Amino acid sequence: MSAPVPMTVVTGFLGSGKTTLIANLLRRPELSRTAVIINEFGEIGLDHELIESSEEDLVELSTGCLCCVMRGDLTNAVHRLMEKRGEGRPFERIVLETTGLADPAPIVHAAIADPTLRALVSLDRVAVTVDALTGIASLEAHEESRRQIALADVLLLTKTDVDDSGVAALRDRIAAVNPDADILFPVRGEIDPAVIIGGATASLGGRRKARVPDENTGSLDHDHLDHAHGHGSDEITSVSLRLDKPLQAVALTLFLQALAETMGPDLLRLKGIVEVAEAPDTPAVVHGVQHVFHPMRWLDGWPGGARDSRLVMIGKGLSETWVRALLDTIIEEVAEASGQ
Amino acid sequence: MTPERFRLLIEGTLAVWRVEGSLSFKDDEASCHITAEGRDMATVSREVQPFGTVWRIQEPGRRDRVHPSVGAALRSLREILCPERSTGRVLFVSEGGP
């Protein structure tokens, strides 16, 4: 039986830069033989199309939050990868990207304690991305964010190149939750791959194990009774919209503005690949965290060739019927204003 | 704008704002009267005018507010129903800095 494959868990609150980080790391030669497991919250997967991979060892899990469905899905995903490995597609490492709402504790616990998983993977470290712009607000408002930071071996403060004025306060807040983790500052996802592939693995592992809860005491374990991150409840919900027709650019902008303004801080995350009427062959990638959006990025073509325009929103109190009604109304108003 | 979509829009917006009120929709019209905390709060309607379609927000004792877009209308309605609620403004931040 071959030795367990080292696995790094990358987690972090919604929009904190997990996918950007992994996409950049996978371009580095040191990580060329890496398989990725992506867990997305929402019925329409998107992140896997934003990570360009030369290999097909990219497994998308779309069954909800991994920390809830837990060991079965993780074990199955690892098994699928191992089968590919046996078919001549070797890889030396696994990177697991969780959802932004995941509690990493049960994942870490499973990797260490589950005999099946433990035979396949050895948990290397937990890397947690923290948005320098919204990190404090997330820490204060969301238990998931606190739990992610609490379990980190290494913390990656993202977007400090955009605004670093709040970094000192954020570090203080982080230190109150997890004073031991190393803190690094990737710029647009660029970071030394050693963060992922180790080098100080033993010390990180030792520290992590000290924080991993005992299954019986479970102080950091996943408790669905006192830990609500929604997943379909009236707390945090995910809405996925497929767009049958191209959107005019002005309608897209007005929709983003209306959504951000109406929802305020309850809009946690918005991402999408959108067919814009003015440039239908170069889909626009939309990324927003609360009310802060990146300028739209234009892809050279549609991932996989299929013209599949969609938006995914995560927030409190969201309903698909309302979002659809808002978008359709704006489309109608723009059409009327432009004489169509 | 069908009356059904108008209804979904208003009901959904009040749900997002967690405003618990009574909504009275007019059949076959895009119009809704909102009562909350035991008093009349506002009437929202969408009307076709010679210069285009507008949103009208009527608040008792106040001058009507007329808006050209749903975004502006919802902003106006929020100021009446839940003025203390935080709002958001889209801020596009470039990779090199704000």
Pick from A108-122, A200-214, B19-33: least confident: A200-214
Residue B72's φ and ψ, nearest 5 degrees, are -70, -35
Are the CB atoms for A289 and A256 separated by under 8 Å?
no
pLDDT of B43 reads: 96
A19-50 pLDDT, tens digit each: 889 888 888 888 888 888 887 655 455 555 55
Residue ranges of domains in chain B: 3-81
A267 contact B CB<8A? yes
Query: Which residue among A253, A292, A321 places its CB closest to the CB of B12?
Result: A321
pLDDT by residue for chain B (98 residues), tens only, comes to 899 999 999 999 999 999 998 999 987 789 999 999 889 999 999 998 888 889 999 999 999 999 999 999 999 999 999 999 888 777 766 544 33
Give the number of residues written for chain A.
Answer: 340
Question: Residue A56's pLDDT band (boundaries 50, 70, 90)?
Answer: very low
Distance CA A147, CA A155 (A): 13
pLDDT greater than 80 at residue A58? no
Chain B residue with minimal CA distance to A286? B92
Residues 30-49 on B with a CB inside 8 Å of A are: none
CA distance A128 to A123: 14
- Count how many residues are written for chain B: 98
Residue type, A194: A
CB contact under 8 A, A295 and B89: no
Higher local confidence (pLDDT), A187 or A230: A187
Burial class for A19, CB neighbours closer than 10 Å (0-12, 13-18, 19+): buried
CA distance A174 to A154: 12
The tokens 């004073």 sit on which residue?
A179
Is residue A271 predicted with pLDDT exceeding 90? Answer: no
CA–CA dist A270, A306 (Å, integer): 21
- pLDDT value at position B93? 61
Partner-chain contact B71 A330, CB within 8 Å: yes
Q: What is the pLDDT of residues A138-173, one digit of tens each?
A: 998 888 898 888 888 899 999 998 888 889 999 998
CB count within 10 Å of CB A232 equals: 9
User: What phi and psi, each to the nearest 5 degrees, are found at residue A204?
Assistant: -65, -45
Residue range A61-69: mean pLDDT, rounded: 48
CB-based contact A231:A224 (threshold 8 Å): no
DSSP state of A3: P
Identify the pLDDT of residue A187. Answer: 84
Distance CA(A231)–CA(A40), nearest Å, equals 12
pLDDT for B67 equals: 95
pLDDT of A1 = 61
In the prediction, which pLDDT does B94 show? Answer: 52
b/e map A39-77, b = 16+ CB within 10 Å: bbbbebbbbbbbbeeeeebbbbbeebbbbbebbebbbeb
Chain A nearest-CA residue for B83 = A262
Contact A329 B5 (CB under 8 A): yes
- Set of chain B residues whose Cβ sits within 8 Å of the Cβ of A264: 85-88
Helix (H, G, I), strand (E, B) or coil at A179: coil
Asked whether the beta carbons of residue B89 and residue A260 sit closer than 8 angstroms, the reply is yes
User: Quick one: pLDDT at residue A41?
Assistant: 57
pLDDT given at position A252: 95
Chain A CB contacts of B69 below 8 Å: 254, 330, 333
Under 8 Å between Cβ of A10 and A107: no
With CB atoms and an 8 Å threshold, state whether B93 touches A293: yes
CA–CA distance, A109 with A118 (Å, rounded to integer):
10
**Domains (range + CATH), chain A:** 5-224 (3.40.50.300), 236-337 (3.30.1220.10)
Comparing CA positions, the residue from A269, A336, A124 lying closest to residue A209 is A124
Q: Range with the lowest mean pLDDT among A84-98, A202-216, A260-274, A277-291?
A: A202-216
Tokens of A241: 């919209």
User: Chain A, 133-152: which have a CB under 8 Å from a chain B CB?
Assistant: 133
State the smallest CA–CA distance between residue B6 and chain A in angstroms.
Answer: 8
| pLDDT tier for residue A51 given thresholds of 50, 70 and 90 | low
**CB burial class (10 A; 0-12, 13-18, 19+) of residue A31?**
buried
Q: What is the pLDDT of residue B28?
A: 79
Interface touch B5/A328, C-beta < 8 Å: yes
Q: How confident is residue A233, by pLDDT bands cut at 50, 70 and 90? A: very low
Closest CA of chain A from B63, distance in Å: 23
